[in-house]
Amino acid sequence: MEVFCFGSGSRGNAFAVRTRRTVLLIDAGFPPSVLRSQLARCGIRDHELSAIVITHEHHDHVRGLAGLLRWHSCPVFATGGTFAALKLNGARRVQITADRWVEVGDLAICPIAVWHDANEPVGLRIASREAEIALFTDLGSPTHEVIESVRNATLAVIEANHDRTLLKGGSYPDWLKRRIASPYGHLSNDEAARVAQECGPSTQAVWLAHLSEETNRPELAEAAVRERLVSRHVLPIVLLTQRGFHRWCSDATDFGG
């Protein structure tokens, strides 16, 4: 199994998961031209996606979806709440439900309900025969199901959105600060570190996602998580950036890409 990140942040999020038989795009938060270019960089041509999975309807996760469907005639997987919010016309829809596994080629997908201010948002467990990914880019509070997903993950993708001190002293209006720090907003570095601490013995790497460019710093996010993982210092930690490209492979030794 290969996992690619095409960028993660408040201006866009998109990931791809590939096996020999199946290619998934997880979220489409960049313009179609960018998504097509990044897919091509991975050797994925037009109309080769098996499915597009959307975690929730916020702009930084669906910006390029409608346009990309001109180039990829695949089904779109999302919850009923997400479809209702998107009002997506003309797409082949497959409705998914939290805690129910669905097969796509040789991959299995299980949506995990998350606390976030969207209409029925989810994180994802994505499993093949040899590996399992836990992918949570937006969640205000980690639930038991989120923790269990991380414990079982070979690759854990965890939001580390903000540093509490930078958020408190930043230039955002008070209502936005309250929204970000709320149980339905985004994870702080400290909260992300507590989630990462739950990684199990099968975890090979941690990717920290959705870092704010305004209220976080990569070195602060890494330090917070590294401190919690001090007893497992060999576990690679990768900081995903807004426009960075990262690759992970379940049988590779270079987990950062």
Determine, yes or no, domain membership for 198.
yes
| H-state helical runs in 42-105 | 59-62, 65-68, 80-86
Determine, yes or no, domain membership for 57.
yes
Let me know: does 15 contact 7? Beta carbons within 8 Å.
no
Q: What is the pTM of this model?
A: 0.95
Which tokens in the block code for residue 36?
């097509």
Determine, yes or no, domain membership for 255.
no
Let me know: does 149 contact 127? Beta carbons within 8 Å.
no
84: containing domain: 2-249
Give Cα separations from 148 to 17, 62, 123, 132, 169 (angstroms). Answer: 21, 27, 12, 12, 34
Tens of each residue's pLDDT in the chain, 257 residues: 999 999 999 999 999 999 999 999 999 999 999 999 999 999 999 999 999 999 999 999 999 999 999 999 999 999 999 999 998 888 899 999 999 999 999 999 999 999 999 999 999 999 999 999 999 999 999 999 999 999 999 999 999 999 999 999 999 999 999 999 999 999 999 999 999 999 999 999 999 999 999 999 999 999 999 998 876 556 899 999 988 899 999 975 444 44
| Ordered DSSP codes for 109-125 | EEEEE-BSSSSS-EEEE
What backbone phi and psi angles, to 5 degrees, belong to 7?
140, 145
CATH no. for residue 209?
3.60.15.10
Determine, yes or no, domain membership for 256.
no
Number of domains in the chain: 1
Determine, yes or no, domain membership for 257.
no
Let me know: does 197 contact 148? Beta carbons within 8 Å.
no
Determine, yes or no, domain membership for 254.
no
Determine, yes or no, domain membership for 194.
yes
Determine, yes or no, domain membership for 37.
yes
